[in-house]
Amino acid sequence: MTNVLGILNSLTDYNRRRYFTIRPLPEYNFAYCWIFLAYVQKEEMMFKLIRNVDVYNPTPLGRMDILICNDKIIKISQSIDFPTNNFDTEIIDGSNYKAVPGFIDQHVHFIGGGGEGGPATRTPEIHLSALTTAGVTTAVGLLGTDGITRSMVALLAKARALEIEGLSTYIYSGCYEVPTQTITGSVKTDIILIDKVIGIGELAICDHRSSQPNFDDVKKIAADARVGGILAGKCGIVHLHMGDGMDGIKILTEIIRNTEIPIKQFMPSHINRVEHLLPQIGWLCRYYFGFL
């Protein structure tokens, strides 16, 4: 019965943080489990049984049944024999659907973006449903052009709110400009001391809205992010907003060639927005990683 009690604890503890996952629990004796569940109040236990869905984990597993209790997946198998008459159960035909792990969106303006056409063009805060209905279960929040009327403190608070609602969240410290926005006054200290902060971003380069940072500016920020990440046990990513400027990845290439900072420290974004930028990134990947 110890194993059964372990399953029940995972199903009925509503105070724990909620995760969306398709990892099945170990194969317990579910016959005993059904008997024990009969003692639990029915209104607390709501089941969904998805039949014959195409499952990816993320490798393809083929057609499977998925059994869900409240917000937890408790079993994935080719055929699940579940006493649907005894429990409040919704049966879903998954024949025309695919079940995949939750997506990670590394670039989300939690507290809104925009504003470049004046105050009336500011976009609102994001709602949980905008992410979950797109299959996103982990998201990284960041500031953009506006580091004045939007703040890192507000971004952190929104990340915590989304986490309470069930999303896994992280944030980048900073915004387009240099010197950039922080909470503690230092990029390195933000990464080390604030659990949600995993790097800096989005720092704009080659963009008319940027602070026109030079080689030394970006190098210093990347060095601080790297050391902060090492000391905190985090990635310490430098999330770069790539603008339309013809210099493209010039600063990034110079840092990789002329310093000890590795290429994996950088995560360029918006690389498909202009024709000349995507081939530059492709060259960088071929040269340093041997692919693309």
- 141 and 57 inside one domain: no
Check whether residue 212 and residue 118 sit in a common domain: yes
> Which of 99, 133, 162 marks a domain boundary?
99
Do 23 and 110 lie in one domain? The reply is no
Indicate if 186 and 219 belong to the same structural domain. yes
DSSP state of 146: -
Q: Are residues 117 and 220 in the same domain?
A: yes
Query: Are 11 and 65 in a shared domain?
Result: yes
- Cα separation, 203 vs 108, in Å, equals 14
Domain extent at residue 70: 2-99
Are residues 254 and 149 part of one domain? yes
118: which DSSP letter? B
Confidence (pTM): 0.76
Cross-strand pairs, 56: 60
- 247 and 233 part of one domain: yes
pLDDT in tens, the chain (292 residues): 333 333 333 333 333 333 333 334 344 444 444 444 544 444 577 889 999 999 998 899 999 999 998 888 888 999 888 887 777 888 999 999 999 999 999 999 999 988 888 888 999 999 999 999 999 999 999 999 998 899 999 999 999 999 999 999 999 999 999 999 899 999 999 999 999 999 998 999 988 999 999 999 999 999 999 999 999 999 999 999 998 888 888 888 899 889 999 988 999 988 888 888 888 887 777 766 665 4
Q: Check whether residue 6 and residue 88 sit in a common domain.
A: yes
**Do 118 and 159 lie in a common domain?**
yes
Domain end residue (candidates: 99, 124, 154): 99
Could you tell me the two tokens for 190?
């933000």
Q: Which of 84, 99, 114 is the last residue of a domain?
A: 99
**135 and 221 belong to one structural domain:** yes
- For residues 268 and 131, membership in a common domain is answered with yes
Domain count for the chain: 2
DSSP states along 198-211: EEEEEEEESSTTS-
Residues in contact with 106: Cβ distance below 8 Å, sequence separation at least 6, in sequence order: 139, 140, 239, 267
3-state helix, strand, coil in the chain (%, to 5): 35, 25, 40
**33: domain CATH number?**
2.30.40
